[in-house]
Chain A
Amino acid sequence: MFKVKLNFFDEYKIILIVLVFLSCLPFFMSTSLATEILIFGLFTSGFNILLGYTGILSFGHAAYFGLGAYTAGFVLKNCFGSVWLALFGSLVVSAIMGIILGFLCIKRKGVYFAMLSAAFANMFYFLALSPFKDITGGEDGLKEIPILMLQFPFRLSLSKPLNVYYFVFVLFVISIFVIWKIIHSPFGKVLKGIRENEERMKACGYNIKNIKIVSLVLSALFSGLAGGLYTIYLDYVPLRTFQWLTSGRVVAMALLGGTDTFIGPLVGAGIFLFIENTVSIVTARWEIFVGALIVLVILFSPGGVTGIFKKKN
């Protein structure tokens, strides 16, 4: 295997190539799979702000994805199908939940956070299932979302899959660009410092707790946006957006692709969804596949797929 030392400009070029490739995706595979790759690529990239860059493992990111999805669905149903308002709602609600959960859960040790995040995501699942069934549609999910039409900046029917794909693609590119800026900003460096040596960062005068909360909020924002896009793509909100397995899948995608690189999450999402799509034709037992993938990656290649190519220190 040849190892490549990536400097800033190389990374830049690789990302551009990946983006160009992604723009042509519907020509290589079904449009729905392509759209899912974008959506989960965004979800995983958002997730990786927390894991790969800050070093915090969350097992409950389904909370933000699901909240983003349901908020979008709710707004679409009740506010004249306004797509931008729906996505804005997704961002706001996820961010607020990120702040709340951040204040509740971040101050304790990392292992507690892993457990707490899982527990809270599950709480949302149960809330959506039963007590708030009237709003969320319970087990059936949120249905009867009106036929989607983008009004601004130009009219675009979002009932056609290809249109949805390119709508999602544009937002995807913008989001990835923003994440890129964040990673390379002074704040992004601070996150990396925390991941490398948290005690040292604390001793340098950084308010670690607040910084972690901000990192969580940023991560929640992109995860929530991905959820909102998922609703637009599906034209309905399934309960499984809050499920344990949704959190598990994003962890698997991040690990598979590699948490140490920028495109790792994207690569991971792509490969994961592609294989899952293929496996589920053969058998319904694809949870084994997710789980086994995680086990194998951890045992044999913790840096994921991109980790194989990235030069070790």
Chain B
Amino acid sequence: MILKTVSLIKYFGGLKAIDNVNFALQEGEIRSIIGPNGAGKTTLFNLLTGYLKPNSGKIFFKGEDITDLPQYLICRKGIVKSFQITSIFPKLTVFENVRLAAQMRKTTYNFWKKAEDLEDVNDRVMQILKEVKLTEEKDSLAADLSYGLSRHLEIAISLATNPKILLLDEPTAGMNPEETQNTMHLIKKLKKDLTIVLVEHDMKVVMGISDLISVLHNGQILVEGSPDEIRNNKEVQRVYLGGR
């Protein structure tokens, strides 16, 4: 088990956004988290990456208690999120966007070398750009990318940090069917090196690539199971189609 939460609780003022969540992730999985809006999906991601701290409960990564670690340390340990609303470096080139992230593992406080001369960093960047199919655009400004490609850049930046667990927050949001297909291929390709957790609303994507699905509702895990089990689950249908 690569990631585990125990009785995780998060309040926003009086609102219990995450209500006693016990979440367990196996290495090499693709897990999707689905649920109606406001169910707490992004909040859960933010708790897992250390961006938010829980009010109570614990988070374990490979057996180690990471609950109180700052965000940047959790990232270094290998839990990385890509953003729901694309968060890239618009005024920098695509190459530089990924290079900055890739550089993290290599060096921060080097004042003397020319940044472009870090050969192994550059190699890694080219490798990642190939994986996300952004090689041709490497010298374009990030702000000039089409929406679909900028979402790929978003994933590329997260990948460059060499994560063990990649959390993708609505990676296909706003994409047309072709872009969605491309992204699905990409995620499936990534699976062999990583554990992936998705938050998604597009059921075709969810059913198409997940090993397991967790359904989140009102901050609690309603049910977990394989795509078929979830598809046929009455509770899930009620929650999604009926009222609250």
Contact = CB atoms under 8 A, between A and B. Distances in A.
Contact flag (A, B; Cβ within 8 A): yes
Contact of B113 (A186, A203, A214): A186
A182 B114 CA distance: 9
B161 A187 contact: no
Given A196-B89, A197-B88, A197-B89, A203 B81 contact: yes
Nearest to A185: B111
The bracket for how many chain A residues form the interface is 20 to 34
Nearest to B92: A196
A192 B99 CA distance: 13
B232 interface: no
B195 to A, nearest CB: 17
A189 B103 contact: yes
A188 B115 contact: yes
Interface string A113-141: 00000000000000000000000000000
A205 B76 contact: yes
B104 A205 contact: yes
A74 to B, nearest CB: 29
B154 to A, nearest CB: 9
Contact of B115 (A184, A202, A203, A211): A184
B72 A185 contact: no
B114 A202 contact: no
Given A185-B114, A189-B115, A202 B109 contact: no
Given A202-B75, A203-B49, A205-B80, 19 more contacts: A181-B112, A185-B112, A185-B115, A186-B108, A186-B110, A189-B99, A189-B103, A193-B89, A196-B90, A196-B92, A200-B83, A200-B88, A204-B75, A205-B72, A205-B104, A206-B72, A208-B72, A313-B91, A313-B143
Interface of A: 181-182, 184-190, 192-193, 196-197, 199-208, 211, 214, 313
25 contacts: A181-B112, A185-B110, A186-B108, A186-B115, A187-B108, A187-B110, A190-B103, A196-B92, A197-B87, A197-B88, A200-B83, A200-B89, A202-B71, A203-B81, A203-B158, A204-B80, A204-B157, A205-B72, A205-B80, A205-B104, A205-B161, A207-B72, A207-B108, A211-B108, A313-B141
